[in-house]
Structure 1
Amino acid sequence: MKFLLKLLLTALAVIVLSSILPGITVTNYGTAFIVAVTISLLNVFVKPLLIFFTLPVTIVTLGLFLLVINAVIILLAGKLVSGFVISGFFTALIFSVLLSVFRSFLFSLIKEEKNKHL
């Protein structure tokens, strides 16, 4: 149940960010949900491989290369999901940073509600 709620909140963040950022296009709400699922799957399966293969660069840049990896994940999602268009790498980089911020904020609201019931 909590996983589905996180996917819905991520889809909401994708829709909000696509309306704010000028290089992102999402055709409808269903596409936003598919983007959320795709990003989650890419984060689980592809991101660890990318981190492993780019570990020396990540260490030299003190972890800042992880922002590039997040942008690559967003670009991959753009290639995999029809109806989700990203204009370029810089747009994907900004989108990934803002998506992380939005998700952190929204997921913290879920945690607060859980603590209120205890």
Structure 2
Amino acid sequence: MTGFILRCAIVALGLWFATKVLSGLQFDTATTLLIAALLLGVVNAIIRPIAIVLTLPLTLVTLGLFLIVINAAMLGLVALLLSGFAISGFWTAVAASLIVSVTSWIASGLIGNNGRIEVIKGK
């Protein structure tokens, strides 16, 4: 449970950073930001795998680049479901999903599977 909460906080940090970089991404309150991060985690766990399977031929033809569009679509779905969260367009959603993905990727390198910060020791 700690790992899930920590990952939601990391996604919230990525979304917050995306709002600072992109003018077309807006949240009304900090609570909306946290709910969006939680909802994005749920959408990525339930709907994203179905979308990936359904678009597998297109993903293979584009050598995996279509996954960026799927990530943007998941972010757009969260924006549709949550009032107080607005995305101005497709390219804003693509850029925001890339920012959130990179933020999560960097943080996942520092956090283990059990939600604890891992220290890598050299010889």
Matches within 5 A, 1:27-66: 27-66=28-67
Over aligned residue pairs, what C-alpha RMSD do you find? 1.7
When the two structures are superposed, what TM-score results if normalisation uses the length of structure 1?
Answer: 0.91
* 1:1-118 equivalence runs, <5 A: 1-111=2-112, 113-115=117-119
The residue identity in structure 2 corresponding to 1:93 is: V
Say which SS state the counterpart of residue 42 (structure 1) adopts: helix
In structure 1, what residue type is equivalent to 2:45? V
Aligned equivalents of 2:68 and 2:93: distance in 1? 10
Which structure is richer in relative contact order (CA contacts within 8 A, separation 6 or more)?
Answer: 2
Give identity over the alignment, percent: 37
* Structure 1: segments with no counterpart, 5+ residues: none
Q: Distance in 2 between matches of 1:74 and 1:38?
A: 9
| SS state at 1:25 partner | strand
TM-score by length of 2: 0.87
Aligned residues: 117
**Deviation of residue 9 (structure 1)?**
1.6
Query: In 1, distance between residues paired with 2:103 and 2:97?
Result: 10
Letter in 2 for 1:58: T
Cα drift, residue 20 of structure 1: 1.4
Unaligned runs of 5+ in 2: none
In 1, the alpha carbon distance for the partners of 2:98 and 2:63 equals 17
